[in-house]
Amino acid sequence: MRVGRRTSALVAALLIAGTGFAFAAQALDVTISAIVAGDVTGTVQWAMPQGRVGATETNDDTDFYFTIRTSSDLDDVILQTIPASSLLTTDVDGTFATTTNLVVTPGTYDVGFKGSQHLTRVLDDVTLTSGNNVLNFTQTDNSAPKGSQVLLAGDVNGAGTTPATLGDDVVNAVDISTLLAVLDDDDLTGNGLRPNLNQDVVVNSVDLSLMISNLDEEGEN
């Protein structure tokens, strides 16, 4: 009988310990989830499209998405696409002030910006910290002053409504064909037709020339 009682007590102790480990694991998982879910955010100080008409910072809006990538001298591995199934939009001055969850833990990453008509621009080796991180895609090193880097225009194939349909990150014959299909079409709002690269009121030879100037260019990696 004593042996049986000792065995029962040992089993009970193990069950209690196991429950404790389970609770500890759940607590750790919740902590990790909390970090991933909202601790690291980002805003865009500047991301300037190439070749827009009008005064600077008055016609520089674009739909876009972020990519968070491994920090590497080789080809980056994309860890997160943000948003995953929709798009964000910068203001007419090329900024995006809404804090956006980057869905990663603090660390060093490469950060990409893919515009609606544009090739991906990547900031290398960005240290993302807890809280909000300001991203400046006009500088190669993410420093604060406004720089000269622009979003190269011409990638306009695809429906353009989600990250998966926002072009293929290369300017090629497919994009030229897409533009030629709407050549001379009016675009009175300035942003109703993606091949209207300079966002004036018509798709014309100016847009075609801009696209051809970037022919065979690819997005940064």
For the segment 149-204, what is each residue's pLDDT rounded down to a tens digit? 999 999 999 999 999 999 999 999 999 999 999 999 999 999 999 999 999 999 99
**Phi, psi of 78, rounded to the nearest 5 degrees:** -75, 120
How far, in Å, CA of 113 to CA of 157, rounded?
Answer: 17
The two beta strands, 131-136 and 40-46, are parallel
Residues 46 and 31 in one domain: no
How far, in Å, CA of 114 to CA of 151, rounded?
Answer: 8
Give the confidence band of 38 by pLDDT, cuts at 50, 70, 90: low
How far is Cα of residue 92 from the mean position of the Cα atoms in its chain?
A: 18
How far, in Å, CA of 119 to CA of 4, rounded?
Answer: 72
Residues 60 and 147 in one domain: yes
**What's the domain count of the chain?**
2
The total of other beta-carbon atoms located within 10 Å of residue 97's CB is 12
Range of the domain at 96: 39-213
Q: Is the pTM of this model over 0.85?
A: no
How far is Cα of residue 191 from the mean position of the Cα atoms in its chain?
A: 20
Give a yes or no: residue 53 inside a domain. yes
